[in-house]
Amino acid sequence: MQSLMENPSVKVNKITYTCSNGQSVTVPLPKIDPSLPTTGMVCRRVVFDSMLLDAARERVEVMDWCAMRQVLTEDGRACGVNAEMGGKREFSFTAKAVVGADGAMSQVARQTGFPKYPQYRSVAARAYYRLVTGTVGSLEIYFLNEILPGYLWLYPTESGMTNVGLSIPLEGVKRKKLCPREALNQALRLPLLSDRFELSKRMGRIDVAMLPVGNTMRRIHGPGVALVGDAAGVVNPCSSEGIFGALLSGRLAAETLAKACQDRTSPDETLMKTYPERLWRELGPTLRLSDRLLELRSPKAIDSLIRSAKRRPHNAGWISGILIGSALPSDELSSFLGYLDFFRR
Ligand SMILES: Cc1cc2nc3c(=O)[nH]c(=O)nc-3n(C[C@H](O)[C@H](O)[C@H](O)COP(=O)(O)OP(=O)(O)OC[C@H]3O[C@@H](n4cnc5c(N)ncnc54)[C@H](O)[C@@H]3O)c2cc1C
């Protein structure tokens, strides 16, 4: 499998948090793997997805332009799918189990009767811009009052374009009556950002999509069926990152089902339920803590966290974790009380 390093990407080594009053702090990114030449890198989805697909092709047969139309069931258990190739030919595939890896609007989930969990959703809007100034080597996060508890990001890419977007919990979108595309356009016109976008040009349209936010009460398996990635709703509520959860859930579901295939049996409930058990054990603490960290997304708390990180650079790493809710829980953050204590000090 190719490594990310061999693909087009841009190195980043710090992250800057800014709030509406202009207060900001820059925090170095921690080096997770000492053998890598960089602490962080930004890779466009088109590059990353094609790398993943190439890796999958080494092990499985990939059928391009093939759409799943109908989940086949026998005695209430999923046992295959009907699919359409190139919009014309129809095929049936039988299988010991069906994995729904078909995103936030999963047909597999819908057809096999999984609940929709509409209260666990965020909305994201994103576009690529040329000629944004001052975006070298740093990830940028803006906590703008207009979109709180959401945030806006600016990520440099190797193509010279900047990935600019925002993500807002659906409840916030409804309460503030926001239109995500318009909210993004308006944010870029704010004095905090407008200078940097003066010469910029948007490449293509602003994409808007729903993000299914993770909660450990979700049902993600059924008779002969497992959901992974956005179909399973494993997006981090605070950071809106879904790729980590998608990769983790995909691996755990594959390991679970590989066991049944080795034994040449259909996976029974005892085996299938080990998949959510393992997933929520690994991802659950982060999801729960991130959910609570969203409560700190008020203008006052954000401002206070950014000021604290500036005053105490030795604490900036874990304050960064609190602000973005990513890569949790660390030792310091594993207890929710940890950061409440911090405010009391
Ligand atoms: C604007 C935006 C920005 C984001 N930024 C980040 C980020 O910076 N970092 C991060 O970690 N996450 C980010 N996310 C979240 C991340 O994109 C998702 O969590 C992730 O893509 C989930 O992967 P997935 O494979 O489960 O679903 P998807 O990436 O949606 O893939 C599902 C696939 O299934 C296919 N499919 C659907 N229906 C069928 C069918 N009937 N038959 C055959 N195929 C089908 C689709 O074509 C698609 O290829 C962002 C999301 C958005 C919307």
- pLDDT, tens only, 117-167: 999 999 999 999 999 999 888 999 999 999 999 999 999 998 889 999 999
| Mean local confidence (pLDDT), 224-243 | 95
Residue 84 burial by CB count (10 A; 0-12/13-18/19+): exposed, middle or buried? middle
Residue 230 pLDDT more than 80?
yes
**Pocket residues: Cβ below 6 A from ligand 1:** 67-68, 101-103, 107, 124, 126, 165, 207, 209, 211, 229-231, 235, 241-244, 246
Residue appearing with tokens 């009391």: 344
Residue 2 burial by CB count (10 A; 0-12/13-18/19+): exposed, middle or buried? exposed
| CATH number of this structure's domain 99-120+214-345 | 3.50.50.60
As a whole number, the mean pLDDT across the chain is 90
Q: Do domains 4-46+122-212 and 99-120+214-345 have the same CATH topology?
A: no
Answer whether CATH 3.30.9.10 is correct for domain 4-46+122-212: yes
Give 188-192's long-range contacts (Cβ < 8 A, gap of 24+).
188/164, 190/144, 190/146, 192/18, 192/20, 192/22, 192/142, 192/144
Query: At how many degrees (to 10) do helices 316-324 and 299-311 cross?
Result: 160
| CA of residue 263 relative to chain centroid, distance | 34
Per-residue pLDDT band for 335 (boundaries 50, 70, 90) equals: low
| Rounded Cα distance, 189 and 184, in Å | 9
Return the domain boundaries, the chain.
4-46+122-212, 99-120+214-345
Task: Note if the pTM is more than 0.85.
Answer: yes
Which amino acid residue places its CA nearest to atom 15 of ligand 1? 242
Q: Which atom belonging to ligand 1 lies closest to the Cα atom of 101?
A: 26
Q: Which has the closest alpha carbon to 328: 269, 267, 282? A: 282
Share of the chain above pLDDT 70, in %: 94
Beta carbons within 8 Å of 48's beta carbon, 6+ residues apart = 4, 7, 243
In this prediction, residue 202 carries a pLDDT of 97
- The token pair at 265 is 């049996």
